Amino acid sequence: MKKITITLSLVFAMFITSCNETQETEVKVVSPEEMQTLLELEDVQLVDVRTAEEYKEGYIMHSQNIDFNSPTFEEDIIKLDKTKPVILYCKSGGRSAKCSKKLKEAGFIKVYDLEGGITEWEFKGLEIKTFN
């Protein structure tokens, strides 16, 4: 009986540890409302991964543009602080999802992806900035 209890305890401990490790490496998809809260509460890096042309048409305040399709994307993204949370967005979520995986592989600790991209942000009536 004692051996079974010890074995079950070890299996449970390994399960808990593996779950915790998985949670730390996952990308969290956030709604526009959740993203707005993150922007207010945390010191985050907000990154728009659309093209420069798309960015000029409208962007979310305090974002920086790092084009996912740019030949210098890998070098540009590494300039971000890996210890600070990063929120990514694109037009509808495709490019930012791919980018978020790259950031996790590169060792970034907290990565958030805006669900539905800037399209959903705008649909919810949230502010979009433009170049005047």
Sign of CA dihedral 76, 29, 84, 52: positive
What CATH number has the domain bearing residue 112?
3.40.250.10
In a domain, 21, yes or no: no
pTM recorded for the entire structure:
0.79
pLDDT tens digits, one per residue of 30-40: 999 999 999 99
The total domain count for the chain is 1
Q: Angle 72-74-78 (CA atoms, 0-180°, nearest 5)?
A: 115
pLDDT tens digits, one per residue of 53-87: 999 999 999 999 999 999 999 999 989 999 999 99
In a domain, 58, yes or no: yes
In a domain, 129, yes or no: no
In a domain, 103, yes or no: yes
In a domain, 3, yes or no: no
The residue range of the domain holding 103 is: 26-123
